[in-house]
Structure 1
Amino acid sequence: MDLESAMSLHLKLLDSLVTVEDRSLCKIRAMAECGGPTGEAPPMPISALEELGLGITSMAGRLQYALSIHLHVDKPEAWETAHYLKGEADGQARILYVGRAVAQATAAGAAPSLPLRPGLSVGHERVTYGTLGAFVASTRDSDRIRFLSNNHVLAACDRGTQGDDILQPGPYQGGKAPRSRIGALDEKEELHRDGVTPNIMDAATCVLDGDVSFHVGELRGLSASIPPPVAVIGSQVAKVGSTTKRTTGTVIDIGFSTKLWYQGEGYLRFDDLMVVASDEVGKRFSRGGDSGALVFRPDSREPVGLHIGGTELDEARGIPVSYVAPLDPILKKLGVTLIS
């Protein structure tokens, strides 16, 4: 199907998942399968996006598109729902078992490191740690350097307030105020926690203390051009994370809707994500601690997004994937531009 048809179908089926209130898709399925409203249907949990994710993938290059369905749980009813959705797409769908989706701000191991550079461990004093994504300049205050990462890394899922200490390394790796302070929480985009209102980003900035040195590292020479997700699907991308360092992968889906598990917060809904699968055999694109890493195209040096989480699945059981929020809306919302 063409992109417009795929997007329309995605929105229609997504609406059927997030608006169900009677723990079933009976009305939807019965009308499709039985010709009327009285047919029976398998149970469907209210929290459908905790078990399933829905997006758009490309087929036959980038000229044809299909529905992409991710299974976060290995349950018969979830598989049945996935195949129902595939039927609604006239078979033009791909089903992947990927495991539970989580925000990835945890792991172990690093020492303080200056000058700062993308890929280092950082975090609010109330979190474990995540990744320094990229250095940015504010459109409101260009005299001070900032860096970009996730809200759940720098703002502790909105529990942090402007001016709070940001540490390097993160607290789980030994960072402790005041000796490990590198700057202060600056701007953040608040997260919607009701599980219904969609988030399209998980982002915040830290303003560096004046005596902290920095280097753009592997992000030197990034393009000022940020391509839209539809131009990136099927492309190779890379990121530099605190845990897995530099990895590469392929953008397999765009416009993806799912729920990610946030420790201490529960499931948060996200829409319009990009999905990345690793290019490297036996190696994931991301793991815990990589949250906040900037994702870019290594060939064109175009930045494309900010890593926010991934799935926990063992590679032997399925396909672990990573979730990336498109970058352009993030930069505009926070009022910053990349430094490279």
Structure 2
Amino acid sequence: MTTEQNVRNVLHMITGHYDHSTSLQAARAARAPSPGRRLQAAAPASPGAMPDWAIGHGVQALGLGEKETCGIVGTDIVLKIYVDKKLPSAKLDKPVPKTVSVGGMTVYTDVVEIGKVQLQGNTQRIRPALPGYSVSRANDGPNTGTFGLVVNKQGQPSPQYLLSNWHAIAAAGQASKGDIIIQPGTADNGSAETDRIGILSDWVPMDFTPNSTQNLVDAAIAQLDPGAASAAIALLGIPTGVNNQLSRGMYVQKVGRTTSLSVARITDVDLVLNPSYPTPTGPKQVTLRDQVLVTFYSAPATAAPACST
């Protein structure tokens, strides 16, 4: 049976992010060498060398998880290829193979329809402002993002910060520190004159290099004005801690502007995602690694595809 680590190694090889320290172990697990034969570590894939089917039309992300058939979760761990819409192989120029062999390891694949991965925003004015509601920069065009959490810098109880997305409140890196942040966002009729809650403080820059290994978060923080916000997430209350031990099958919940309170099941914690972000020269694709896929993120939702085995 294919081991989860072998599938993870194949995923990292395909996406150009392979840990050399595990290559020898992976090769041993894949095949036993004959007596006297020197075992060679599998070479990592080069950035930009992803196979055609992995970047074909409609492919949204790659990851790993249990094989699912008609909604029934099995026990076999497979390489997941997430697409916006499943199509018959005959209609595809670059169909996903049933198995993938890399570095002496062969794993099975599973194509999963998840719809198109799009940047989503969040709506009405509320004071104190609550996580789960609409925010944006005041000088953006019609735009809205999500007020994610109230946070502090480690070891510093004050000031407090609003945690949101880099693309939502930092204009995908085109913003300036000190820009006014408003709630609700400009797409929800917010304005600097009446709706200011803080100023943009910092963000994690995004590396647009193909298959970059640097992008792990889409995040920015804004320093909150005193008394402008509450730490209580709408409908959920104040978080009691942080869980960094996520696993497939675990249930999570969130609050969003369009979806309100939603609950979803984690299906992948090894997701390699390739969304497009706006830039001054047009949309550019980035690679986000170690992402988490759940069964429902945000509206608009799509109808469930017909099941076929």
Identify the TM-score tier after normalising by the shorter chain.
0.7 to 0.9
Deviation at 1:211, TM superposition (A): 4.1
Deviation at 1:47, TM superposition (A): 5.1
Give 2:77's aligned amino acid.
Answer: Y
Give 2:80's aligned amino acid.
Answer: S
**2:33 aligned partner:** none
Deviation at 1:7, TM superposition (A): 1.1
**2:48 aligned partner:** 19
**1:171 aligned partner:** 186
Structure 2 residue corresponding to 1:202, chosen from 218, 224, 237: 218
Aligned equivalents of 2:174, 2:150: Cα separation in 1: 23
Aligned equivalents of 1:213, 1:52: Cα separation in 2: 35
Task: Compute the RMSD of aligned alpha carbons.
Answer: 3.2
* SS of equivalent residue, structure 1 residue 9: helix
* SS of equivalent residue, structure 2 residue 241: coil
Q: Kindly indicate whether residue 158 of structure 2 is the aligned counterpart of residue 150 of structure 1.
A: no
Change in CA separation of 1:220 and 1:49 when aligned onto 2, cut-off 3 Å: farther
Question: Percent identical across equivalent pairs?
Answer: 20
Q: Kindly indicate whether residue 147 of structure 2 is the aligned counterpart of residue 132 of structure 1.
A: yes
**2:35 aligned partner:** none
Aligned equivalents of 2:119, 2:111: Cα separation in 1: 22
Give 1:114's aligned amino acid.
Answer: R
- Is the helix fraction higher in 1 or 2? 1
**Contact 1:118–1:133 (CA under 8 A) maintained in structure 2:** yes
**2:132 aligned partner:** 119
Give 1:269's aligned amino acid.
Answer: T
Higher CA-based Rg: 2
Structure 2 matches for 1:179-198, cutoff 5 A?
179-198=194-213
Q: Which runs of 4+ in 1 moved over 6 A?
A: 60-63
**Contact 1:50–1:267 (CA under 8 A) maintained in structure 2:** no
**1:293 aligned partner:** none
Change in CA separation of 1:318 and 1:20 when aligned onto 2, cut-off 3 Å: farther
Structure 2 residue corresponding to 1:216, chosen from 207, 229, 232: 232
Q: Kindly indicate whether residue 286 of structure 2 is the aligned counterpart of residue 268 of structure 1.
A: yes
Give 1:251's aligned amino acid.
Answer: I
Structure 2 residue corresponding to 1:228, chosen from 240, 245, 258: 245
Deviation at 1:170, TM superposition (A): 0.3
Alignment size in residue pairs: 263
Aligned equivalents of 1:318, 1:223: Cα separation in 2: 40
Change in CA separation of 1:59 and 1:318 when aligned onto 2, cut-off 3 Å: closer
**Contact 1:52–1:78 (CA under 8 A) maintained in structure 2:** no
- Which range moves more in the overlay, 193-202 or 157-166? 193-202
**Contact 1:148–1:205 (CA under 8 A) maintained in structure 2:** yes
Deviation at 1:186, TM superposition (A): 1.1
Change in CA separation of 1:152 and 1:120 when aligned onto 2, cut-off 3 Å: same
Aligned equivalents of 2:249, 2:54: Cα separation in 1: 32
Q: Kindly indicate whether residue 106 of structure 2 is the aligned counterpart of residue 94 of structure 1.
A: no
Change in CA separation of 1:236 and 1:45 when aligned onto 2, cut-off 3 Å: closer
**Contact 1:51–1:78 (CA under 8 A) maintained in structure 2:** no
Change in CA separation of 1:272 and 1:49 when aligned onto 2, cut-off 3 Å: farther
**1:245 aligned partner:** 260
**Contact 1:244–1:286 (CA under 8 A) maintained in structure 2:** yes
Give 1:161's aligned amino acid.
Answer: S
Could you tell me the TM-score, scaled by structure 1's length? 0.67
Deviation at 1:267, TM superposition (A): 1.9
Change in CA separation of 1:225 and 1:111 when aligned onto 2, cut-off 3 Å: closer
Structure 1 residue corresponding to 2:302, chosen from 284, 291, 314: 314
State the structure with bigger RCO (CA 8 A, min sep 6), 1 or 2.
Answer: 1
Deviation at 1:216, TM superposition (A): 0.8
**2:40 aligned partner:** none
Deviation at 1:208, TM superposition (A): 0.7
Deviation at 1:65, TM superposition (A): 2.4
Q: Kindly indicate whether residue 3 of structure 2 is the aligned counterpart of residue 2 of structure 1.
A: yes
Deviation at 1:195, TM superposition (A): 3.9
Q: Deviations over 1:136-179 (max 9, x none)?
A: 11126422111211111111101111111001000011011132
**Ranges in structure 2 where 5+ consecutive residues have no aligned partner:** 17-44
**Contact 1:2–1:63 (CA under 8 A) maintained in structure 2:** no
Deviation at 1:2, TM superposition (A): 2.5
Deviation at 1:260, TM superposition (A): 0.7
Deviation at 1:275, TM superposition (A): 0.7
**Contact 1:129–1:169 (CA under 8 A) maintained in structure 2:** yes
* SS of equivalent residue, structure 2 residue 13: helix
Change in CA separation of 1:45 and 1:225 when aligned onto 2, cut-off 3 Å: closer
Q: Deviations over 1:227-258 (max 9, x none)?
A: 333xx211111111122111111111121112
Aligned equivalents of 1:159, 1:187: Cα separation in 2: 12
* SS of equivalent residue, structure 1 residue 103: coil
Q: Kindly indicate whether residue 78 of structure 2 is the aligned counterpart of residue 66 of structure 1.
A: yes
